Every structure is written in C-alpha cells, then in structure tokens.
Structure 1
C-alpha cells in the first residue's frame, strides 16, 4: 500500500487508535464461530475504543451480524475471547453485560405506548417510579419525540419507530450499544437525514456504538472507523477516508464505492513510481507505489471513477495513463453523471463527474456515443498486489 502523505500531528484523544498506549474499550481476540462445519467468523481480532461509532461493513453472510451477536452474548465463540472495558465477557450471559442491542426490526411492543416501550428495560433497575419517569422523558427529549409518549407504535412513522427503539436501547445507559442495520427499514431520504441524527445522539450520550450495515454509504457517513468483512474475516480496518483512498486489497477496493481495476504486470520501477503493462490499455500505466515492488510482479492498478478526466479533446500527454474511447452508456444523477466508456480493447471504464452546467438546457460537455479521451495523473491510482 502506498505511504500516506505527510499530515499534521493527529489529535490522539479524538483518534485513540493512533496511540499505541491507548487502552481498547472492546477487544475481540482471535474469535472464531462455527455452526457445525460452517465457519461464520474466522480468527477475528479487533480493537474498538471508547466513544467510537464503529461500523462492521460487509455483504450478506460475511459474518458481521454473528460477530455483533457474540458481543451481545447471544452467541458464544467457538474459540477466542471478548473483553469489554477490560473484563472478559466471553461466557457472560447477555443480561449481565453492560451492553444493549437495537434490533433491525425495532421489536417494539405493539400493545404498549411509546413511554412504556422506552421504560420497559428499567423495570428491573433500582429506580423509583419518579426516576424511571424522568429517565423516559430524558430519552424522548434526546430523540426529539416530546409529546409522543402516549402514542402506540402503529401511530408512528418508520423514522419515529426507529427513534423509539433507540431511546429504549439507551434508557438503561449501557456502556456499549450494538445496532443491527438500524436504518435499513427507512427510505433513502429519511435514512440520510437519520444518519446525522444518530451521529449527533451518539456524540451527546458518549456511548460506544457498534453498527452493523451492508450499506457502504451509510458506513462512510456514520463511522469514526469501519471494518470491511468478507467470508468471516476482516479484510481491512480504518477510517472511511483511509479505506476508500487506500484499500489494501482488490476485495476492499471493489466493495467500497466504484472502481476500475486494470490487471497487469510491473515492467519497470522508477524511483517512487512503477510502470505497469496492461492488455486493456493502449499505453503503459504509471503509478506512484512502494519501491519494494519487483519487475514481473502481477498487480492490479486501481483508479476511482471520479479521478479520471474525460473530454473530447486529446490530452497533452498520451504516453501513459491515457486512452481514447467512446461513451457507451451515460447515467444522469442530477448532481453528477456516470459514464461507461468503451476502450478500443472492448474494456468498459467507469468515469464520474460533477454536473456544473449553469442551466438545464446547456449542452452536455460529453454525451452518448461521443469519441472521448480518458486520462489521470500517476498519484490518482493505486497498485494492489492482493
């Protein structure tokens, strides 16, 4: 993976994962979970820090929900151990852990009012009736549902039900809150709005959140850090920007957002750059990459669609990282357009760009079937060896 560019000294309090001395709040140590012969989670180790909003991201069947259920205590690891706030809770039952879980279905009691749903978990706490009432009101204020306490779940919208479930999960003031696809039942616009509300609530209460989601955009917006999972294993852990800009393997690069992967072979190493020959491209690809790469190494050159320039005019430099093509498809998304450009080799390359036309009837700079040129600088691409 290419070296990260020089940055200002990080705030270690805001980013404790950068401080080797910072204690982890949640530690998952070499955890494996088997169901018969099927391995759902395989030798996973992970550290999550206090007050993080951490996302487990992956497709269906990758093991993310099983990992979450082991944190909750609903499943026991076949091997390894789980620690929360320095305490080994591997075999501790769910009710004895400082953890609460918000389920994807919200699991609200239909016969109870909003107030009763939120206060349900407080029945076994040593609170007076007045203290429990105050706690419920505090939680409803937190999720902006003042005045909804006497309503029943069927009288609420999907977004309001989601807030009630969150208020109930937070009412017992857990040290760790687990959220399984918390926004999955909401429509796109409401989900986008609720993402920011969830972040604000997490910041206010200071509780560590672990969120399971298959939605890449959701994880990118919510997470302080995220873990990308595939087939029971963690492929990469990092901040959203690090995982997006510096994926460590083909799977992560392809899973997070859209990307073009050009398979090829290193033909030269020139200082901090390597030259890659690729059958799909008419010219060599030049990429900034570690000097440790050797000539003859098979690699993939990864380029995000938004980092590729597209235009009708031939670029000044066409000896590398450039190719002619024809617009094969065009997707218009309002704020941006996605082009599928066919190269002479038949390879389709994805290119995206912002729509900056001043008026709706302005001519598109590039349209269907146009002959175009694609190009990008050496620093815009990555070399992946795995």
Structure 2
C-alpha cells in the first residue's frame, strides 16, 4: 500500500493556533472517580463507556473536553469521512479497505481526537446518517450523508443529559458502541461504516435516570458531587478565573504535566495486551458478581477489562487485588438496583462483598 502524508509542520502549528483553548485535564481538582473512569476507557475503549451522574456545575463537560484535548493525534485517511485508520483493517471503512486491497494510493493525515457533542433534539438521521434514495436509484451509487456516529469514529461521543434522551436513540448509540459499526438501511439499500468511540453520558439524577436495561450497558458508572471543602472550592474558582483571564499563560503552566500524562496513556495502550489477571482473581470477580445478584455477564467482563487497564496505566503487567478494588465499584454499582424506587448504591454494598470474597479486613472506620 502506498500512502501520502499530507500534514506539514506549518499546518500543524496553524491548526494549533486556531484551536480554542481548552482547560487542561491535569489542572482539574477533585472528581477522581470520574477522571479515572474516563482514562481507563481511553486506554481500553472496549470497557464500554462511562455514565457520569452528579450535580449540575461539577465540571462534567469541562473534564470530557479536557480529556479529548489531552489525547495524542491519530493517523487518518485524509479523504475519508469516517476517520479510517490507514493501516488497521478493523478501523477502516469498506471503501478504504477496498482501495488498500487494490493497492491504490491512500493519503494520510494526522488530526486531534474528535469529541462530538450529541444534542438532545438530534434525530436518528442526524445521528446515524442518511441515504439519498433518489440519487441511489437514478445514478446507481450509494449516496450517503454521514452523521454524528461517523464523525465520532475513533473519538469520544458525549451525550449531556443522556437520561433525557429518547430511549430509542440511546439504544442506537449503545448498539454502535458495542459492535463498533453503524449500519443504515433505507428502502433495501444498506450502508455501514466503523463507529468505534468512547461513549460518555452525563446527567443529573434529580431529572430522572436511565432505564436499568440501558444503564447496565454502560461499562462504568461514576458519581460526582459538588465539592464541599471551602479551600478546594476557592482553588477551583481561582483556577477557572486565571484560565478565563489569560488562557495561554495558564496552559503554559501545565504543558509538562499534560505531556507526561499523554505519554503515560500511550504507553498504557501499548502495554494493555500484555497485562495478565490470574485465574483465581477472575473467579473471585465472578463470585462477587454472583453474590451481588448482577444480571448477565457484563459486570464480570467489564471488571476484568478495567482491572487490566488500571494495571497498564500504572506501568504493570500483572493485576493486583488493589487494582480490582479500585475499579469494581465503578463497574458494578449501576447493575445492582432491582427496586425502581431505590437510588444507585454509593459503593458500600459492592465494597463489602468484594472484601468478603477476597478475604480482606473491613476498614477501621467502617466505610
């Protein structure tokens, strides 16, 4: 396969100047649970996304934009609307794969990871894309207008107030996120394209929650609360004020931290395939799920994946009990609820069973 790199140093610097300043991920204070869940999903997108539930004004959107800005640039096929990978067949559209098979020239470019906001009023056509039936019938070509799922491929798809989104659309998003493909069918014409993205939903539980069937399909569930500690609140306000007043000067203070975290993510993604989790630990994880009466096997699978991702993130190739303890609440708490009147468990129930199964002592403070 021959390929042409179409980006230049000048175009890179111009793009960098043109981009709007984004609050740096490493400057975000608190909300450790949300940040960890997001990082693990970036390291292993097959975890299945994150549902972030919490109070208004707690930095959900800011954190997700910061994460997308932090991630390293990716290689794409320059003239392809689906951000196809130039070398990996699993991340190519059918058209690009055919061109590669025929050894045609494929122009390659580099771009920032996309973060796509899905508006609440979006229609299915806007999300999935549309087929121009008249053109298809008249000219015999598959005229496809890509939607938001195409734009989000190999990036992050963010749905604010996902609990207010139409259930059918949530189903479509979760199906695409799970399969990695989006298929559009109209009048006997079918088109599909890769749709591999990290799905992040957020919402305020006071405005209603997702149906348990949909909630279960999010890999992880992070809870965030308004910071109560006065000194931390002051620090957050001062940081935001400094960023709004002089964004470039503020960003300059975090360049080193941002680059260090970006490199850690890259190394973790490369290390992930070599991380092992012992058979005994896998059995214990499944025992925790069984004792908590978790339906299905998603809880088992996601906990295993998340434990491997956190080990990779911290530079190890062997999962420890501590790794499992740090992720198991995020992976299981939203899968426990049976009574619709109950709120989602804060983590006490999951941690209690986890400690019993793994033979760990109860913490001294009883938490």
Name the TM-score, length of structure 2 as normaliser.
0.34
Which structure's CA Rg is the greater one? 1
TM-score (norm 1): 0.32
User: Which of the two has greater helix per residue?
Assistant: 2
